[in-house]
Amino acid sequence: MKKIKKLLAVFAAVSVALMLPLQTMAAVDLNAKYDISTNQIQGWPAGPDITSDTGILMDADTGVVLYNKGGDEQRYPASITKIMTLLVAVENSTMDEKVTFTETGVRNVTADSSNIGTKVGEVLTMEDCLHALIIQSANDVAAQIAEHIGGTEQAFIDMMNQRASEIGCTNTHFANSSGLPDDNHYSSARDMALIFREGLKNETFRTVVGTPDYIIQPTNMNSQQRILHTHHPMFAPESGFYYEGCIGGKTGTTVAAGHTLVTGVTRDNTTYIAVTMRGTELSNSCMDSTAMFNYAFENFTKTEVNGGYVFLPKGVELNSLTEKSENTNGKTETGYYFGDYLIGTASVAQATDTPVPEPTAAAEDSQEAEASTESAGEDNSKTTEKSTAGENSSEKKSIPALRKILLMIMAAMILILIALLAALRIKEKKHHK
């Protein structure tokens, strides 16, 4: 009975494992067609009809989406996967680290896989590896970076998926670090734009994606220089698809993925990110991206507000927008809406009361001394007031007594004078007789 239960458990586990890839394949519907959802916003400038299955145009600073065609639909990313590989690598390594190649990376040195021809035991710097990853789209380097940083490829892939979740990706799952075909390896145009946007916040990431040419000097197992030049037509000045202000990006292609493209462009203090997925040709992907960039620059004005920016459609005034604010973590976060569509955000720190410092022992003693002095002063003042009042009272009492004495003396003197006059009168009468 126990053996039967174990067999059933193993069978169930195997069944689930086999079903996962099938479920993933069902989720990535390569036959589905999508409308331009931003064209359905009332009063919104009409966007271009791109040929790629899906596409998105996002502002790098705010994350505001100005153009969206199936941006949340799953597609196979192919080598634009390496944007996430680059982000995780620059966040977890230094450029001067030595990377020793093993069979893990070298197994991808095949005729049908993009590579730089590494050999087992060859040593490159991480700086060399990252430039080969982006410029040459080297799959051997992608796998070796994963093993070097993660300890194992799978550990690094887990880091990629964890970082994607932290960034806010909701339609992404990575199964490798290169973008080679795997039914369980998928993403969306919005998620890839979010990943590239996050990468642009990192100085080393910006440097690597913004380098069109790089030379790997001879190594311990290769006596020749490896000269690398960008494969991104919109980033290559000699290309007919070169776009002024392009700051780099990444191309990708497999049979199932078609052509995928991530591109960043900076003009007039504004950086836009364009992502196209499942294009029929790289040239078409470039034209689709160019159309989205032109659409954004021609139809929207980046306008500063207190604590942020909004993207005003042509002919729309700032005071016509709807504002929604909420207080979060000591800040007032404000969203600006064109109808129900978010077109800008602002964040302002809330005003706080000046904190009153706790009194120290010395301050308390000082306060007590001041209080004692004040009390003594009050007592002295009261004593002085009482003394003054007493003196005034005595003076008031002594005045009537003095008057009485003076009156009595005057009365006595008058009586004496009358008596003298009376005596003189009697003496004169006697003399006349």
How far is CA 245 from each of CA 262, 272, 299, 300, 319, rounded to the nearest angstrom? 14, 10, 18, 17, 31
Would you state the structure tokens that stand for residue 254, as one six-digit string?
A: 């497999």
Residue 289 · residue 295 · CB < 8 Å: no
Residues labelled catalytic: 79, 82, 137
DSSP 127-189: HHHHHHHHHS--HHHHHHHHHHHHSSHHHHHHHHHHHHHHHT-SS-B-S-SS----TT-BB-H
CA distance 143 to 248: 22
Using an 8 Å Cβ cutoff, are 88 and 163 in contact?
Answer: yes
Beta bridge partners of 308: 305, 346
Q: Which two tokens stand for residue 262?
A: 């991530």
Rounded CA gap, 65 and 292, in Å? Answer: 11
Task: Look up residue 89 and give its amino acid.
Answer: A
Question: How far apart (Å, rounded) are the C-alpha atoms in residues 60 and 293?
Answer: 13
What secondary structure letter does DSSP report for 236? -
C-beta of residue 167 within 8 angstroms of C-beta of residue 194: yes
DSSP 8-state symbol, 43: T
Torsion sign, CA atoms 373, 379, 383, 389: positive
Tokens of 367: 């306060």
**3 state DSSP class of 191:** helix
- How open is the CA angle 191-242-164, to the nearest 5 degrees? 15
**Long-range contacts from 324-331, C-beta under 8 angstroms, 24+ separation:** none
- How far is 426 from 423, CA to CA, in rounded Å? 5
